[in-house]
Amino acid sequence: METAHLIAFNLTLLAAIASPGPAMLYFIRTTLASGRMAGLYTVWGLGVMAATWTALAFMGLDAIFVVFPWAFVALKTIGALYLLWISYQTWKHASAPMGDAPTPPLRAFFGGVLVNLGNPKSVLFAGAVIMVIFPQGMALADKALVVANHLVIELLCGSALVLSFSTKHVSAGYLRAKPILDRIAASVLGFLGLKLMLSR
């Protein structure tokens, strides 16, 4: 593996992180609703699971999904149902005032893990990127470096975004428009959940 391979992987990864999706919407909404620490733990959970998908892609899990499509469908369905549940809860409590109790760190972390765990397309994406960018027959140490690199990029980018969304100005604006913004977030999450469930 050469440095150029890692740079190409990082550029692809940054483009994927910047693309709006359920993970980004989830941690933004968590940050605005529950504060900076909840947002940070959420993106750390998202990052750990994203890097885990890359590790599993190196281990050939994408091939297992091809051989056993029912496993892919089952995991995808669970993820879609989780997104729909988040959508329902967000819509249901859109008009409710913010609670005083912060989101527990472990709950925020595992919420992030579950959102990315429920998107098995991540491992297919990682597998495709790995096949295109990296040479065949990479050493185990090189694979571990790529996975560690992925985790660091996810944590740094996610944490930076949380810090920017948790400023007083942004938080105050969210509180003023909470009912509308929560219903928009719920609608988008619900749409993404249905899309994930119905997609092939």
Q: What is the Cα 144 distance to its own chain's centre?
A: 21
The confidence score (pLDDT) of residue 20 equals: 66
Contacting residues for 13 by C-beta, under 8 A, at least 6 apart: 150, 153, 154
- Sequence spans of domains, the chain: 3-198
Cα-Cα end-to-end distance for the chain: 33
- In percent, the amount of the chain with pLDDT more than 90 equals 20
The confidence score (pLDDT) of residue 196 equals: 72
Element (H, E) at 60: none
Closest to 172 (Cα-Cα) out of 57, 35, 78: 35
Q: Is the pLDDT of residue 123 over 80?
A: no
Q: Which two tokens stand for residue 86?
A: 């988040």
Q: Which residue reads 């297919």 in tokens?
A: 124
Burial class (CB in 10 A: 0-12, 13-18, 19+), 95: exposed
The confidence score (pLDDT) of residue 100 equals: 53
- The one-letter code for the residue type at 122 is S
157 φ/ψ sector (left φ>0, alpha ψ -120 to 50, else beta): alpha
Closest to 31 (Cα-Cα) out of 102, 83, 100, 116: 102
Cα separation of 190 and 94, whole Å?
14
The pLDDT tens digits for 132-188 are 788 878 888 999 999 999 999 999 999 998 998 888 787 777 777 778 877 887 887
pTM, two decimal places: 0.75
The pLDDT tens digits for 14-39 are 887 777 677 888 888 888 878 889 99
Average pLDDT, the chain: 82
